[in-house]
């Protein structure tokens, strides 16, 4: 069963625009993570936000967490063609394992 | 990049044959994981290990077995491969159990096709 679900499934934007992806989850969590996967590669960790944090920044990335709505968003500002990838949220399940959503595929057009 | 090596990276095998995928890490991390990634299903945990000879099942463990005789190696075996096991397999490692907040690091994947 999926713990995190990303929305939208696919997103296409022009270089320089901002990209926003959302993740909803079902049960209470103590942290939520975002990963990026380039085509044909493994996943790479981007950022972790804890349940007592509302917002976190890392370079051009901004992550928010709303535990009351059980949702998180990932904002990529001033996108570049190199940001083209799939983005996954991951949350710990009630049995302690890390569960990934199905991802949002982002295409940034030059 | 985390020191994770998966082998083989690509393999085509016939239905009914045994297949073993190897994951080797140089980070001395305690936890190791095997995931499979399929369209429409995202990443699903197959098995994981929390120490040498200590393993446990994930959400899609049927048809798979694992072994960890050394800290650095985690083997995934398909005893009798089926077409439904055609997938991309990712090994991952973490220093502590992931829900406590530490990140996990992924290998580059092994593409398995069962014909």
Residue B8: which CATH number? 2.60.40.10
Q: pLDDT class for A1, splitting at 50, 70, 90?
A: very low
Residue A35, classified by CB atoms within 10 Å of its CB into exposed (0-12), middle (13-18) or buried (19+), is: buried
Task: Say which residues have a Cβ less than 8 Å from residue A34's Cβ, sequence separation at least 6.
Answer: A23, A45, A46, A47, A48, A61, A63, A72, A74, A87, A88, A89, A90
Q: What percent of chain B has pLDDT over 90?
A: 80
Give the pLDDT band (50/70/90) at residue B41: confident
- B38 contacts in A (CB within 8 Å)? none
Number of domains in chain B: 1
Q: Tell me how far apart the alpha carbons of residues A9 and A22 are, in angstroms, rounded to a whole number.
A: 10
Chain-wide mean pLDDT for chain A? 91
Task: Indicate which CATH number applies to the domain containing A20.
Answer: 2.60.40.10
**Number of domains making up chain A:** 1
Specify the 3-state DSSP secondary structure of A80.
coil
Residues of B in contact with A92 (CB under 8 A): 98-99
Q: Are strands B110-114 and B10-13 parallel, antiparallel or unpaired?
A: parallel
Residues spanned by the domain of A80 = 4-109
The domain of B72 spans: 4-114
B38: nearest CA in chain A? A102
| Residue A96 sits at the chain B interface (C-beta within 8 Å) | yes
Per-residue pLDDT band at B14 (split at 50, 70, 90)? very high
Q: Chain B closest CA to A79's CA: distance in Å?
A: 23
- Look at residue A5 in the predicted model and tell me its pLDDT: 82
CA nearest A103: which of A84, A92, A89?
Answer: A89
């Amino acid at each position: 069963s999926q713990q995190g679900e990303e929305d939208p499934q696919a997103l296409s934007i022009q270089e320089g625009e901002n990209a926003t992806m959302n993740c909803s989850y079902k049960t209470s969590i103590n942290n939520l993570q975002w990963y990026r996967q380039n085509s044909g590669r493994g996943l790479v960790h981007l950022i972790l936000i804890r349940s007592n944090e509302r917002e976190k920044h890392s370079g051009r990335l901004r992550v928010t967490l709303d535990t009351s709505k059980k949702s998180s968003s990932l904002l990529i500002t001033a996108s570049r063609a190199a940001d083209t990838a799939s983005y996954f949220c991951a949350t710990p399940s009630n049995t302690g394992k890390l569960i990934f959503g199905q991802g949002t595929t982002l295409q940034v057009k030059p | 990049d985390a020191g994770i090596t998966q082998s083989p990276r690509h393999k085509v095998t016939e239905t009914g044959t045994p297949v073993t995928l190897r994951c080797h890490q140089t980070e001395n991390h305690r936890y190791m994981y095997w995931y499979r990634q399929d369209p429409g299903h995202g990443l699903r945990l197959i098995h994981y290990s929390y120490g040498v000879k200590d393993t446990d099942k994930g959400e899609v463990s049927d048809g798979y077995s694992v072994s960890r005789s050394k800290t650095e190696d985690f083997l995934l075996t398909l005893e009798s491969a089926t077409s439904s096991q055609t997938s991309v397999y990712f090994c991952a490692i973490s220093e502590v159990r992931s829900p406590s907040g530490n990140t996990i690091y992924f290998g580059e994947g092994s593409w398995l096709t069962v014909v």
